[in-house]
Chain A
Amino acid sequence: MAAVIKLENVHKTYHTGEVEVLAVRGVTLEIAPGEFVAIMGASGSGKSTMMNIIGCLDRPTEGSYFLDGVDVSHLDRDELAAIRNKKLGFVFQGFNLLSRTSALENVELPMLYTHDRLSAAVQREHAIHALQIVGLADRADHHPNQLSGGQQQRVAIARALVNKPAVLLADEPTGNLDTRTSAEVMGVFQKLNDTGITIVMVTHELDIAAFTKRNVIMRDGLVVNDTLVERRSFAEEALRNLQQAQQAVKLSV
C-alpha cells in the first residue's frame, strides 16, 4: 500500500540571529496507512520539529514531504491550513481546548473552517459521533473545566477525529496525565488504530511508546533507530495490572 506519510531527505534549519540551528538534518521516513508510530528522542533531538513538519505547521527547508500522495513541502500558509483541516487531526500535550466552550463546540471547531461547509445539524451529528467514539457523548455540554484531564484529552481526540483525517498526530498526549489516565488515553488510541486510523505520536516515555506498533528514535536531527515494537503493551492489560497493584497496596496496609 502507498505510504500515507513519505519524507524524503527532509532538512530543517532555523536561523536564530547569527546562529544556524540544524534541527532536522536529512530524515527519510515512510509511514503506511494503519500504522501506529511513536517518534522518540530526548529534547533537542528534532522530534518536535519533525512533528511540526509532519503536521503541516512548518515547511521543510530542504527535501520533500508527501502527505497522502500530495507534495505539501511548497504549499503556502492558507493551503497548509486547508491540508491540516482535511487530512490531519491534532492532539496536544496541554489538550488545547477552548475554555468556556462546551465539549461539543470544541469538537465542532474544525468543521467551522472546512471549505465545503456542512449544515449546523450535520456538524452536530458528526461531533456527537466523534464524542461517542471516545466515550464522552454524555458529557457533550460540559465545559473543559468541568472535565478531568483524561476526559479533556479524549475531547481533544474527538476534535482531531471529526473531519475524518488521514493521520492522527499526537504530541506528548499523555505528558500531563497520571499513569492510569495515560493508559486509558492510550487505550483510546489503540482502539482507533484497530479501526484502521494511522497514528503518529511524539513521546519521550518508553512505556507509552510500548503501546504503539513502531518506534522511531531520533538523535541530533537524524533517525538513529526504527524498529517494530516486540513486546507491545495493551491498555486493558495495563489497567488491570494497575488495579491489582493498587489492591495489593490496600491489602498490605
Chain B
Amino acid sequence: MRIAATLRMALRALRRNKLRSTLTALGIIIGVGAVIAMVGIGNGAKSQVEAQIASLGQNVILVFAGNWSSSGARSGWGSAGTMMVDDALAIAREVPGVITVSPEVRDRQQVLANGLNWNTQILGEGPDYLDIRQWALAEGAMFTDQDVRGTTKVCIIGKTVADQLFPNEAPVGMTLRIRNIPFKVLGVLSPKGLSVMGQDQDDVVIVPYTSEMKRVTKRTNLSSISVQSATPEFSDSVQRGIAELLRQRHRIGAGRDDDFTIRGQQEIADAATATTRIMTVLLGAIASVSLIVGGIGIMNIMLVSVTERTREIGIRMAVGAHGRDILLQFLIEAITLSSLGGVIGIGLGIGSAKLLSALAGWPTLVSVTSVALAFLFSAAVGVFFGFYPARKASNLDPIDALRYE
C-alpha cells in the first residue's frame, strides 16, 4: 500500500479523535520538551565553564613551586623557594614543543594613586604573558623584553584596578605607587571576568617580573611558571619534559618527591566540566523517563484504538488488505502521533529554555544535535511502542474481526 495514502489515513484517524490524540501526544510533547530544556540548561552551564577555562589561555601548562618540609612541618605550595628564573629560561630553551614561558611572581600589595588606594594582586610576569593567556589590552601597550632586562618601573593594570584608582581619567601614562615605588601605567587590560575559582581576574597589576623581584619584594625565587605548548597534543610530552628537566636541575634523586607541581589546562578543564557533564546527563536521563512514560501512553491508546477499530480491520482484510498493510497503517499512526508530539515538544523545549534564560538568568544552549536526537528518539518511541499494538491488529483473524461488536 502506498505510504502517502497510509499517512493520509493515519492523519484522518488522528483527527477523528482530536482530544484523545492531543492528550496522547502531550506525553511526548512534555517528554521531548523536558529533554530539550534540561539538556539545554546542562549544556549552557557547561559552555559557561568552558568559556572560563578558555580564559585561562591557550595550551597553557602551569608549573607551581612546591612545598618544603622541615622536621615534619610542611609548608604550603610555592614555599619551597627552589623555582628560579633560570629554571623558566631552561624550560623555554630545552623542552621541545614549548613556544614560550612567563616566569611569575605573585604578591599582594597596597597600591596608591591619585590619593586613592586599593589592595590588589601584583603579578610579576614576562613580556609574553598576555599572549599565553590570550588576554588583549583595551588600551596602551605591553611592556617589552627590554623593560624586563632593565627592571623598568612600568605596569599594566586590570579593569577593576583602573576603575578603583583612576575613576575619572584615562590611566595610561599615569603613575601609581607600589610600596611607595612609582610605576608608570603602560596599558589597561580588557575585562576578563571571574576565573573558574570565582576570583576577579581583572583585579590585578602586572609588572615585569624582574622589577617585582628586585624592587618590590626583594625575593629571588618564582611562584610559578606559565608555559605555552605548541598544540594540545604536545601537552603531555611537554609536561613530562618539564618534570624531567626540573628534577635534574633541582637534583632530586630517584624515589624522592618533586618540589614542584605541573597542571595542564586539560586537567583543569576536565575537573571543572566534570560536574556540569554529570548534571547534563542526569537532567537528560530524568527527562527521558517522561519520554518513555509518553511512549507508554501511545501504546495504551493504540491498543484501545485497535480494539475499537477491530471491525474496520476486518473490513480492510476482507477486501484484500494484507497483514503488513494493517501493521503499517497502525505503525504509521503511532509514529505520526509521536513525531508530531516530538516537533511540538522541540518548540516547547526551545521556548522554555529561552524563558529560563530570560527569567532565571541561567545560560542555556540548545544544540542542533540535541534537537535532532530528541526528534529521532520521539519517532523511535512511536516505532517501539506502536509496534506491539500494530502487530496485534495485523494478526487479527478477518472472520473474528468482522464479527466483532
Contact = CB atoms under 8 A, between A and B. Distances in A.
Residue of A52, A55, A58, A96 with highest tally of chain B CB at under 10 A: A96
B402 interface: yes
A159 B319 CA distance: 9
Given A57-B399, A117-B2, A78 B316 contact: no
A96 B311 CA distance: 8
A147 interface: no
B399 A58 contact: yes
A90 B318 contact: yes
Contact of B16 (A55, A100, A159): A100
A113 B316 contact: yes
Contact of B323 (A78, A101, A109): A78
A163 B16 CA distance: 28
B399 A81 contact: no
A92 interface: yes
B5 A81 contact: no
A128 B322 CA distance: 25
Contacts of A57: 318, 398-399, 402
B316 A109 contact: yes
Nearest to A96: B315
Contacts of B320: 81-82, 84-86, 110, 113-114, 163
Q: Classify chain B: how many residues form its interface, as a range.
A: 20 to 34
A112 interface: yes
B155 interface: no
Interface string B315-344: 111111111110000000000000000000
B312 interface: yes
A98 interface: yes
Contact of A113 (B314, B325, B402): B325
Among B1, B324, B402, the one with the most A-chain Cβ atoms within 10 Å of its Cβ is: B402
Interface residues of A, number: 26
A77 interface: yes
A163 to B, nearest CB: 8
B312 A112 contact: no
A109 B316 CA distance: 8
Nearest to A92: B402
A86 B324 CA distance: 18
Given A98-B312, A109-B316, A78 B402 contact: no
A48 to B, nearest CB: 9
A96 B317 CA distance: 12
B315 A77 contact: no
A78 B322 contact: yes
A84 B322 contact: no
Contacts of A101: 12
Interface in A24-49: none
Interface string A48-75: 0000100101100000000000000000
A90 B319 contact: yes
A85 B293 CA distance: 40
Contacts of B314: 96
Contact of A96 (B12, B321, B322, B402): B402
A176 to B, nearest CB: 14
B2 A81 contact: no
Contacts of B316: 109, 113
A112 B328 CA distance: 13
Interface string A234-253: 00000000000000000000
Contacts of A112: 1-2, 5, 321
Interface in A110-145: 110, 112-114, 117
Given A57-B399, A96-B402, A77 B323 contact: yes
Contacts of B321: 81, 112-113
Nearest to B319: A110
B399 A84 contact: no
B1 A81 contact: no
A114 B5 CA distance: 13
A107 to B, nearest CB: 10
A92 B325 CA distance: 22
Interface in B250-279: none
Nearest to A52: B399
Interface string B1-23: 11001000000100010000000
A109 to B, nearest CB: 6
Contacts of A97: 315
Interface string B376-405: 000000000000000000000011001000
Contact of A85 (B2, B12, B16, B319): B319
Interface in B289-327: 311-312, 314-325
Interface in A160-179: 163
B318 A113 contact: no
A49 to B, nearest CB: 9
User: Nearest 8 A-B pairs (CB), nearest first?
Assistant: A85-B320, A110-B319, A113-B320, A113-B321, A78-B322, A96-B315, A84-B320, A81-B322
10 contacts: A52-B399, A78-B324, A81-B320, A81-B323, A85-B320, A96-B314, A100-B16, A101-B12, A112-B1, A117-B2
Interface of A: 52, 55, 57-58, 77-78, 81-82, 84-86, 90, 92, 96-98, 100-101, 109-110, 112-114, 117, 159, 163
Given A82-B320, A109-B315, A109-B319, 14 more contacts: A57-B398, A57-B399, A77-B322, A77-B323, A81-B320, A84-B320, A86-B320, A90-B318, A96-B402, A98-B312, A100-B16, A101-B12, A113-B316, A117-B2
